[in-house]
Structure 1
Amino acid sequence: MSQLSMEFGGVCAPPASPAQVRTRGQVYAADVTDADGDRVAVEFRAYWDTGDGQGNVVRWAPGLSTFNASGSGFSMTLPSGLPRDGHVQWEARSYDGAEYSPWSSTAPQERCEFVYNTSVPPTPSVTSSEYPASNPADPADPWHDGVGRYGSFTFASTDTDVVRYRYRFASGDQVGDSHDVLTSGGAPRTVRLVPDQRGDNRLYVRAVDSAGNSSAERSYVFRVGAGTPERAVWDLDEEAGTASVQGEGAPWTAALTGDAHAGAEGVLGSALRLGGESGYARTSNSVVDTSESFSVSLWARLPESGVTGTGTAISQAGNHASGFDLSVDPATGGWSFGLAASDARDAAVTRAQQDSAARVGEWTHVAGVVDASADEVLLYVDGRRVGAAPFDHETWEARGATALGARLSGRSQNEDQFFEGDLDEAQFHDYGLTADQVAGLADQRPVTTGGRPASVIWSFEESADATRISGRAQTVEATASDGVTLGAEGEHGPSARFDGATGVVAASQPVVDTAGSFAVSAWVNLPSDKADRTMVVAAQTADDGSGFALVHAPGGQGWTMRGRAAGGTVIEASQSPCPSSTPNCVAAGLGTWTHVVGVHDLDAEGLRVYVNGELAGSAPFTGAVSSTGRFTLGAVERQGDGQTDHLSGRIDDVRLFDRVATAYEVRRLAIRNSEVAGRWMFESTESGVTPDDSVRANPLILGGDASIGPGWIDYNALVLDGVDDHAFTDTIPVDTSDSFTVGVWAQAAEVASEGMTLVSGPGANNSAFRLRFEPDPEREGHGQWEAVLPAADAAGTTEVRVANSQFLDVRDWNHIVLSYDAPRRQARLYVNGHLQQLPCDDPGTDPCGRSWADGVMTYEAAGSLEVGRTGVGGSWGEHWAGSIDDLWLFQGALNDQQVAWLASSFFGTPTEVPPGA
């Protein structure tokens, strides 16, 4: 049912609450898959009662749709003759050419139901130029960029009694809250929304009249491509002693078509050769914002024989027109750079024109610049300004694909003016280059000072048989000071350690436009005893201070995104996890790796800060200015003060985006890598040890009379007598001060009268964790499983206990998992794949019992891993009496889905991280 929806009725509604539909429209089946990847078709049918005595029977059965690839969407138009004000039920099933699936209404599912009701307001229309409606019947239904980029959606109604529109936005698996937009007489209203995830996005809209009657829900489906890639990524994986640190952009791919081939001789390395008949390279995203200042440049070589028609080297499409084009036209002279006045097929074009013929047979550097502040279009050839034209129209944003080697003039892939010749080193800048900067590019010198690096460069270094070419943002060279130690242990490979006094990684230029939307992401590890002062992760300097700074602030503010507006006003979006009197409280999450993201959202007029994937603070923010100073890590530069607010700690995997990073993307960026640190299956023993099936090969040594006997997973298990039997490793294979997971199957041999321990990690004075069973003297075989975690390895340290009593009998096989998430300071205890929450008698109070706890601190155990007992200093107790099977250790916190998978896997389970990360 979750895959079914109606064009004019919204998501599939059950018979208990049918949709109200005024217009027939189409029914949809989304993401129809076949397990074998075969092509699939869909069959729809509908039931209603016409009063002919046959009752509610099938009245519409149009047969199978055409076959499409597995994962496609399908649609069918409902028939005429639907019963007025009558109930209609419908369902669907798929067919792979050999077998049918069950009908979508197969229990416990139900048929979708709607009432064909003409007394409600008509369903409103929805239109968007950036995100046109999807057409599932079109095999070439295009994707539109993209995640993190806002679009305008306009609602309108033909009913003059409509006073508001109610909408909700579903991006991927996230369905947003309902919002109302007031109107009068059904007049159009526009909202700005940003897609959160790639794929089919849905906007559900109703019209509401003055009496409160609501229309059927319009389901507006549009396809969203991946967002523009990162402007720069500093993985900080350089070796110790390295002075230069590189920030590299993520790949921008473009597909080659027709007679376009890479591998030709270029002005630098290889070039793209274009035959002038059908070939070009096409991106899936627009590269530059044509409503603002921007620049495009490249090296071009025309055939020695010349060209006979207009050839476009670079263009970017709108819905109907080409937003701009950099072209050569022998009929009117040489090179020209044109900017369209609007997104209309017959739009006027402002064109800067070369007044002499273009050179042939030689490499020529050509650049087009739009200076929005001066309302001017400029053309440069070989570093010299050869043409200029004023424009006095309002610019617009062409959001279609960018082409190298043809003119694109619409979303429907209308292409013409194919370029004949060779192209190399195509560069795009998101601002207007100066005459000196263009001259530098013509001398093959990249922009490294005085402006931001190129948003993307295509160098065409692929081989002649390549089908796609890949560009990247210009590499940003940054220098690490003496106070920075590279090669330190990081969250993703090595990291950079900053000394808190002089350490800084500084680029020679700004990287992001702080006046527009942008995001910065980083993994940071600050000391648990951090000094109560500002420490900077990343910043970019403005004329009167930092244009932005992502910091850890003093006084309990915690992680903070700072922005500076015109006039020097500083706005802060802060996490604020602690009171000012105790800024290093447990909730601050210090002493471990933390993922932090700062976002400036120009459309929403706000700053946001995310911590470990969750929104932690926000603040309204307008009037942002473009900062022209250089980008820094680990400190900020201020005029007159030099570098200040140095960070003490480690930084890893820094990412900059030229757009909003969405909540879904932030959650994905915050996912921590998990790895199998040990798995003991207890299938065999040799010379008193049982092997570790993980790559670490850390065997368990059997102590006492511990033996291998009949088990639960696969065949055998570890059998312990509850007196002195146990097993242990030489060293514990996980860092228990960081995120870790321990999971094990256990069966008690008898009814316990005292507590027994399954697994522990001893230190000098405490066990860093204990996974144990505490019996209930009032209920034979029952009690509760417990995870015990002390904050430090010191006598008298406070312990956190997390309990779960959701099981039948300790003498049965039970699966026990402790998952500790260090950045969130959360411990979760699962029994048989489930967490537990017990309700209170008073529904207004917090849960009376639950198997997770927040604010948990742990320490790193330095001893062994102990199985079947606990203790420190040679004093052991709580020996387990019974069997233990399939013991897993992970470095990293498993989530609910992964734990459930582990608890339901019994035979031949591979030793790898469970799916669902």
Structure 2
Amino acid sequence: MRQIMGAGRRRTARLGALSLVAGVVLTTQGTAVAVADPAPEQSWASQLETGSRACGAGEPQAYVRTVPPLRAVLSDPVNGGQPGAPAVAAEFEVWWSADGGVERRRLTTTSKPQGSVFSWQLPEEIGIPADTAISWHVRALSEGKTSPWSSEGAGAACVFVYDRTVPAAPAVSSADYPDGDDWTDGVGVHGTFHITSPSEDVESYQYTFLGGPQLTVQASGPDRAADIDYLPESSGLHMLTVQAFDRAGNGSTPTNYQFRVGSGRAPAAHWKLDDAAGSHTAAAEAGPVARAGAGAAFGAGAPSGTGMTSSVSLDGTEDGFVTPDAPVVAADGTFTVGAWVRPASVDGTRTVASQDSGQGAAFTLGLRQAGGKPVWSFAVGGTTLTGGEPGAGEWAHVLGRYDARTGKARLYVNGKAVGDERTVTPVAGDGDFQIGRARGAAGYRDHWRGEVGEAQVFDRVAVPAEIERLAARKAELLGHWALETAPGGISAESNGGQPLKLGQGASIFRLDGTCDPADPDCNPGDWPLVDEGHLNLNGVSGHAATEKPVVDTGESYTVSATVRLADQEPDHPMTVLSQGGAHGDAFKVRYEPSTSSWELVVTDADEPGAAETTVARFVEPDGGQGGGHRIAVVRDVAAGRITLFVDGYAKTAGVAEFRGGWTSGGGLQVGRGRTADGWGEYLHGAVDQVRAFSGALTNSEVAALW
């Protein structure tokens, strides 16, 4: 039972270093108890809290927007930590000035072990007034002993103010992105929003841009102002919502500020580098026309799936460069620089793009050596960022970004951030922009050897969605074999490409005309997996194959099929798809009965015993029943990974890191793979709808195949 007592119910007499309750102590039941040995002089109280705030002794006081609980930990400072220490109760007292006097309220708790947290939730009925300094302290009662109040000696009373007044709504303005109907530049350009409040006790603002996280900024200055930085990543109507909060945590009504963001500015300089063979200049989509050195040859290859038609090949000598003979961006301001590149060699340090700064370079984008291997690099001032691993003869989109507002730089490879974002110190670079070389004290150096295409420079931040688009490569269909018919043992490719030639033990299954699929009594014993027919394989010699390779296994690719196993308990591994060379498969997808799993196996080289990487997904055998499983293998060179999809969805996919691989010379195989003894792992079952793509399909694109 708890008891709240008014003022004057208890008096404390001070005798030297001791604290003594005069005569008696009133318990929570009001019973008189003789006082035993006096308590030590030190307070027993620690960890005092007003609600969720610290004690609030002195200034600044604790401001609260609801009547708070008072909390303290009580323990004898001399022997409270000893085993068997007596239990302790807490006596709280609060007081405040009112009508020229002082109002006091007290509560004594039940006893608990020393070191416990004691609390008093101040009830509304005791009349805590608003906007008034409320003081409180606490002391301990234990076996007739009474400790000093926590405010005595070196202590101080805790003070809080109960504040129920809601601050006024804040005002928002921006010179960069004014409100109204005007469209303002734009995506990738920082803007500042200024917030003020007429309320004198505002301490912070909570804000959110539509679709973004809720953030907090502190108010400062005589007008209790704050500035918010914002980098738009999309065009259209944007909205900023701001709410002011006072020192008690009271929140204002929100202020909504709408503004319109235009599309990002076009590149400050852009060269497609797809000029005609023999040209001595590179036409500019933006910025100045660029001069090509004698070691630059136009008409070189281009990455598939990009829309590019050609590129410029640089021979790695001092004559292999392209330059506009002018700067294209302020190197100590915000900029983004990127290009498609295919290095012919990845040794040493090689520069894709740079801008001169005196006898050096303000920034460089390219590759260098780190940890004994080549890495992509972006250097700004004296700081170099690295990440990703270039491969000789492999196309990649490389991009460096420096944000002068934040002081941070980032390197991107194939649309993805690599390495760490770092704070850098730029240098002014008003010299000429360079493609394929970098300025050094003794002249130009670090010459690029290989192809460069679509070089672009922005005088703003390129946002992640833009960077992904710049680096996007659309997968292209190379072959689709419906496996509906095979006249003369040849199953045609849907668009006239390489056919699949059926081997012994392979046949096309089709329903005959005696059974109507719409007839409920029709039961032919089997149904085509998809559409009107499928490929049946006998598990001994049955297979189908193209004469030449279909996918370039050294690049990104996707191969898929629908497959159904004929056996409930297969007795040997069975390959459904593979493509390889003389000694092994660059990839193969097989069913492994020992683990009841579909496996994707890729190898590092066309050599006996070459290193393998395997991804497996558990699947029960079909036993010749049902619609089979949808299998897809996706190799993504840019991401350095391989993925095995079973039944077409990301949640049923297995992923592994894979940066090796090789370009196979053999044809696409359906129903068999290479073993140590030659062809083997023949599939016993049905296969349908085989597809092959150059490039890596996305998760959603794989799901849409069926």
For the aligned pair, the TM-score class normalised by the smaller chain equals 0.5 to 0.7
Greater gyration radius: 2
Please say which of residues 684-693 and 218-227 is displaced more in the overlay: 218-227
Cα pair distance change 1:121/1:703, threshold 3 Å: farther
Task: For 1:501, give the aligned amino acid.
Answer: T
Where does structure 1 lack aligned partners over 5 or more consecutive residues?
A: 1-117, 135-140, 250-473, 565-569, 578-586, 778-782, 838-849, 904-917
* Residue in 1 that maps onto 2:359: 544
Residues 290, 322 of structure 2: 8 Å contact kept: no
Distance 1:476 1:246 in 2: 5
Task: For 1:546, give the aligned amino acid.
Answer: A
SS in 2 for 1:223: strand
Distance 1:833 1:215 in 2: 50
Residues 829, 835 of structure 1: 8 Å contact kept: no
Distance 1:714 1:724 in 2: 25
Task: For 1:668, give the aligned amino acid.
Answer: R
The equivalences for 1:508-519 within 5 A come to: 508-519=325-336
* Residue in 2 that maps onto 1:127: 173
Distance 1:874 1:236 in 2: 49
Task: For 1:499, give the aligned amino acid.
Answer: D
Cα pair distance change 1:880/1:806, threshold 3 Å: closer
Residue 479 of structure 1, CA deviation:
1.1
Task: For 1:497, give the aligned amino acid.
Answer: S
Cα pair distance change 1:883/1:550, threshold 3 Å: same
SS in 1 for 2:554: coil
* Residue in 2 that maps onto 1:660: 461
* Residue in 1 that maps onto 2:406: 604
2:501 counterpart (693, 698, 701): 701
The equivalences for 1:357-368 within 5 A come to: none
Distance 1:494 1:181 in 2: 50
Q: Does 1:784 align with 2:597?
A: yes
Task: For 1:162, give the aligned amino acid.
Answer: V
Residue 789 of structure 1, CA deviation:
0.6
* Residue in 2 that maps onto 1:271: none
SS in 2 for 1:737: coil
Residue 740 of structure 1, CA deviation:
0.5
* Residue in 2 that maps onto 1:742: 559
Backbone CA RMSD of aligned residues:
2.7
Distance 2:169 2:393 in 1: 55
Residues 869, 880 of structure 1: 8 Å contact kept: yes
Residues 233, 656 of structure 1: 8 Å contact kept: yes
Distance 2:227 2:437 in 1: 42
* Residue in 2 that maps onto 1:182: 218
SS in 2 for 1:879: coil
* Residue in 2 that maps onto 1:241: 278
Distance 1:128 1:122 in 2: 20
SS in 1 for 2:609: coil
Residues 768, 860 of structure 1: 8 Å contact kept: yes
Q: Does 1:641 align with 2:454?
A: no
Cα pair distance change 1:644/1:776, threshold 3 Å: same
Distance 1:558 1:727 in 2: 41
* Residue in 1 that maps onto 2:196: 156
* Residue in 1 that maps onto 2:474: 673
Residue 809 of structure 1, CA deviation:
4.6
2:488 counterpart (675, 681, 687): 687
SS in 2 for 1:899: helix
Cα pair distance change 1:217/1:687, threshold 3 Å: farther
Where does structure 2 lack aligned partners over 5 or more consecutive residues?
A: 1-163, 510-526
Q: Does 1:498 align with 2:324?
A: no
* Residue in 2 that maps onto 1:856: 659
Residue 703 of structure 1, CA deviation:
1.2
Residue 164 of structure 1, CA deviation:
1.7
The equivalences for 1:131-530 within 5 A come to: 131-133=177-179, 141-170=181-210, 175-184=211-220, 187-214=224-251, 220-249=257-286, 474-482=287-295, 484=297, 486-491=299-304, 492-502=308-318, 503-527=320-344, 530=346
Residues 361, 429 of structure 2: 8 Å contact kept: no
Residue 790 of structure 1, CA deviation:
0.5
SS in 2 for 1:851: strand
Q: Does 1:758 align with 2:576?
A: yes
Task: For 1:233, give the aligned amino acid.
Answer: H
* Residue in 1 that maps onto 2:61: none
Cα pair distance change 1:210/1:735, threshold 3 Å: same
SS in 1 for 2:703: helix
Instruction: With the length of structure 2 as denominator, give the TM-score of the two structures.
Output: 0.68
Residues 524, 651 of structure 1: 8 Å contact kept: yes
Residues 288, 324 of structure 2: 8 Å contact kept: no
* Residue in 2 that maps onto 1:365: none
Residue 242 of structure 1, CA deviation:
2.8
The equivalences for 1:883-894 within 5 A come to: 883-894=686-697
Q: Does 1:828 align with 2:629?
A: no
SS in 2 for 1:554: strand
Residues 291, 323 of structure 2: 8 Å contact kept: yes
Task: For 1:852, give the aligned amino acid.
Answer: V
Distance 1:501 1:618 in 2: 32
Distance 2:208 2:390 in 1: 34
Residue 493 of structure 1, CA deviation:
2.7
Cα pair distance change 1:248/1:159, threshold 3 Å: same
Cα pair distance change 1:671/1:490, threshold 3 Å: closer
Cα pair distance change 1:633/1:873, threshold 3 Å: farther
Q: Does 1:798 align with 2:611?
A: yes
Cα pair distance change 1:656/1:501, threshold 3 Å: same
Residue 872 of structure 1, CA deviation:
6.6
Cα pair distance change 1:119/1:863, threshold 3 Å: farther
Residue 496 of structure 1, CA deviation:
2.4
Residue 213 of structure 1, CA deviation:
4.7
Residue 635 of structure 1, CA deviation:
0.9
* Residue in 2 that maps onto 1:900: 703
Cα pair distance change 1:155/1:650, threshold 3 Å: same
SS in 2 for 1:687: helix
Cα pair distance change 1:212/1:591, threshold 3 Å: farther
Cα pair distance change 1:133/1:880, threshold 3 Å: farther
Identity score, percent: 33
Residues 239, 487 of structure 1: 8 Å contact kept: no
Task: For 2:559, give the aligned amino acid.
Answer: V
Residues 806, 836 of structure 1: 8 Å contact kept: no
* Residue in 1 that maps onto 2:370: 555
SS in 2 for 1:665: helix
Distance 1:216 1:882 in 2: 68
Residue 516 of structure 1, CA deviation:
2.3
SS in 2 for 1:575: strand
Residues 675, 681 of structure 2: 8 Å contact kept: no
Alignment length, in residue pairs?
Answer: 515
Distance 1:761 1:733 in 2: 8
Distance 2:688 2:442 in 1: 62
Residue 530 of structure 1, CA deviation:
2.0
Instruction: With the length of structure 1 as denominator, give the TM-score of the two structures.
Output: 0.53
Residues 143, 223 of structure 1: 8 Å contact kept: yes
